[in-house]
C-alpha cells in the first residue's frame, strides 16, 4: 500500500529505532527459534538455518511491526482506531496489537482471502471489510473508509515504525547465528510489499555486512525481482493467482523499495509446485507447518537458485496461518 497520508512516518530506519522497538515489545512478542537439522545440512552440503517466525504470536512476524506502531499512538489516536489492508497475516497481527494496546482495528481484506485467515482476524476482535483485488483500488477503499471513520492508517509496510518492529526479527537472527557459530552467507526473505525484506537488508548491512540478502517471491508475483532489474517499481499483471496468498501483492511498496534497491543482492522465485515441495520438505525434515508464502525461500534453495554447498543460508519462514485441510492438500501435491 503506497499512501502518502500524514499517518505515515517515512523517515530513515535506524538501529536505535529497532532496539527501541525491541524494548517496547519485550514482553509481547516471542523470540522465535533458529532451527537447524544436521541431517538436512549433510544432504545439502551446507548449513540451512530457519528463522521460525511462523511460531510468532498470531502465526506470523507481523505482530512485531503492528505492535510497535500502535503502542506509540496517543490516547486520542487510540480512540479513533486503526485501519489497514491485509490478506491475513498483518490483519491478525494488527488485530491482536489493537487489543493489547486498547484500541480497535478495521481490516480491508481481499474477497479471495482464505476463510481461516478471515475468521481468525474476526476472532481477534477486528472489523473486516472486503474488496475485489482485480476490480477495486485498495487505496481508494482505504481512503474512503478513513474519511468516514477517522481511523489511523497502519499499513503492512511503508512506515518506519512498522519496519523497525519487523527488523527486531532480523536482529534476533544475527544474534542467534552468532551463538550457533554460523557466519551468514545468505539470507532469504519471503517478499510481498517488501517490509521485512527491507528491514532484514538494513540489519544485515549494519551488523553483518558480508551477508547477501535476497527477496524470495512466487514466480507470477515477482514484482520486486523485476523492479530491481528495471531500477524502478513495476506492477504485476492483474488476474494472476498463486497459492502464496500472503505475498500476492501488486507492486513493491515505495518506501521499502528504496531500501531494497540499494541493499538487496537480488531476487529469487519459486513456482507453486516448488512451494508445495518446500512445504512438504519443511514438514518432513523440520517437523514444521508453514503456509505457502512462507516457503518460497526454502523453495529457492531446493530449486537451486541459491547456492548452499559450503555456505550458511538463513531463511525466514514468515507465517504458519493455514488450515489443516489446505495444508494437507498442498503437501500431498508435492512430487
Q: β-strands 152-153, 186-190: how paired? A: unpaired
Biggest CA pair distance of the chain: 58
Structure-block grid coordinates of residue 123: 476472532
Q: Where are the domains of the chain?
A: 21-60+161-331, 63-153
Could you give the percent of the chain with pLDDT greater than 70?
98
Question: What was the pLDDT predicted at 6?
Answer: 67
Does the domain spanning 63-153 belong to CATH 3.40.50.1100?
Answer: yes
DSSP one-letter string for 13-67: --HHHHHHHHHHTTTTS----EE--HHHHHHHTSEEEEE-GGGSGGGBTHHHHHH
Question: What was the pLDDT predicted at 334?
Answer: 87
Q: β-strands 312-316, 47-51: how paired? A: parallel
Q: Is 186 helix (H, G, I), strand (E, B) or coil?
A: strand
- Name the band, by pLDDT with cuts 50, 70 and 90, for residue 134: confident
Q: Residue 4 pLDDT more than 60?
A: no
pLDDT in tens, 8-55: 888 899 999 999 999 999 999 999 999 999 999 999 999 999 999 999
Q: Residue 239 pLDDT more than 70?
A: yes
For the domain 21-60+161-331, what is the CATH code? 3.40.50.1100
Structure-block grid coordinates of residue 231: 531500477
Question: What was the pLDDT predicted at 133?
Answer: 85
**Bridge-partner residues for 105, per DSSP?**
82
Q: Residue 3 pLDDT more than 50?
A: no
Q: Is 194 helix (H, G, I), strand (E, B) or coil?
A: coil
pLDDT in tens, 135-164: 898 889 999 999 999 999 999 988 999 999
DSSP one-letter string for 64-107: HHHHHHHTT--HHHHHH-EEEE-SSHHHHHHHHHHHHHT--EEE
| Residue among 195, 240, 222, 224 nearest 86 (CA) | 195
Higher pLDDT, 107 or 2: 107
**Bridge-partner residues for 34, per DSSP?**
51
Tell me the C-alpha distance between 308 and 38, whole Å.
14
Enter the pTM of the model: 0.94
Cell 508464502, residue located: 293
Question: CA 32: distance to chain centroid?
Answer: 15
Average pLDDT over residues 67-72: 97
Cβ count near 16 (within 10 Å): 9
Structure-block grid coordinates of residue 226: 523485476
Higher pLDDT, 169 or 116: 169
For the chain, give me the number of helices (H) and strands (E)?
Answer: 14, 10
Tell me the C-alpha distance between 130 and 137, whole Å.
12
Question: CA 237: distance to chain centroid?
Answer: 21
Backbone angles phi, psi at 54, to 5 degrees: -70, -15
Calculate the average pLDDT of the chain.
Answer: 95
pLDDT in tens, 313-331: 999 999 999 999 999 999 9
Tell me the C-alpha distance between 141 and 196, whole Å.
25
Structure-block grid coordinates of residue 176: 542467534
Report CA torsion sign: 74, 80, 86, 87.
positive
Instruction: Say if 21-60+161-331 and 63-153 have the same CATH topology.
Output: yes
Q: Are 258 and 13 in contact (CB under 8 A)?
A: no
Amino acid at each position: 500500500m503506497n499512501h502518502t497520508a500524514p499517518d505515515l512516518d517515512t523517515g530513515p530506519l535506524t538501529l536505535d529505532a529497532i532496539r527501541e522497538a525491541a524494548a517496547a515489545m519485550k514482553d509481547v512478542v516471542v523470540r522465535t527459534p533458529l532451527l537447524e537439522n544436521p541431517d538436512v545440512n549433510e544432504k545439502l552440503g551446507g548449513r540451512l538455518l530457519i528463522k521460525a517466525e511462523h511460531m510468532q504470536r498470531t502465526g506470523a512476524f507481523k505482530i512485531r511491526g503492528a505492535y510497535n506502531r500502535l503502542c506509540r499512538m496517543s490516547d486520542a489516536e487510540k480512540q479513533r482506531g486503526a485501519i489497514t489492508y491485509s490478506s491475513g497475516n498483518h490483519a491478525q497481527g494488527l488485530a491482536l496489537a489493537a487489543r493489547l494496546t486498547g484500541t480497535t482495528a478495521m481490516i480491508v481484506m481481499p474477497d479471495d482471502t482464505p476463510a481461516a485467515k478471515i475468521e481468525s482476524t474476526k476472532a481477534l476482535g477486528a472489523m473486516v471489510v472486503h474488496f475485489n483485488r482485480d476490480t477495486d483500488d485498495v487505496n481508494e477503499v482505504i481512503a474512503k473508509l478513513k474519511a468516514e471513520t477517522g481511523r489511523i492508517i497502519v499499513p503492512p509496510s511503508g512506515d518506519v515504525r512498522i519496519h523497525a518492529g519487523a527488523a527486531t526479527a532480523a536482529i534476533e537472527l544475527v544474534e542467534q547465528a552468532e551463538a550457533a557459530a554460523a557466519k551468514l552467507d545468505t539470507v532469504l526473505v519471503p517478499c510481498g510489499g517488501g517490509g521485512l525484506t527491507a528491514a532484514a537488508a538494513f540489519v544485515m548491512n549494519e551488523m553483518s555486512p558480508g551477508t547477501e540478502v535476497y527477496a524470495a517471491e512466487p514466480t507470477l508475483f515477482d514484482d520486486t525481482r523485476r523492479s530491481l532489474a528495471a531500477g524502478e517499481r513495476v506492477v504485476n499483471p492483474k488476474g494472476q493467482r498463486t497459492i502464496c496468498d500472503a505475498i500476492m501483492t501488486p507492486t513493491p511498496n515505495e518506501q521499502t523499495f528504496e531500501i531494497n534497491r540499494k541493499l538487496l543482492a537480488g531476487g529469487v522465485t519459486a513456482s507453486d509446485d516448488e512451494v508445495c515441495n518446500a512445504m512438504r520438505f519443511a514438514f518432513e525434515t523440520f517437523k514444521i507447518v508453514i503456509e505457502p508464502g512462507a516457503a518460497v525461500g526454502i523453495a529457492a534453495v531446493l530449486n537451486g537458485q541459491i547456492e548452499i554447498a559450503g555456505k550458511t543460508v538463513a531463511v525466514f519462514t514468515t507465517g504458519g496461518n493455514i488450515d489443516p485441510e489446505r495444508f494437507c492438500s498442498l503437501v500431498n501435491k508435492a512430487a
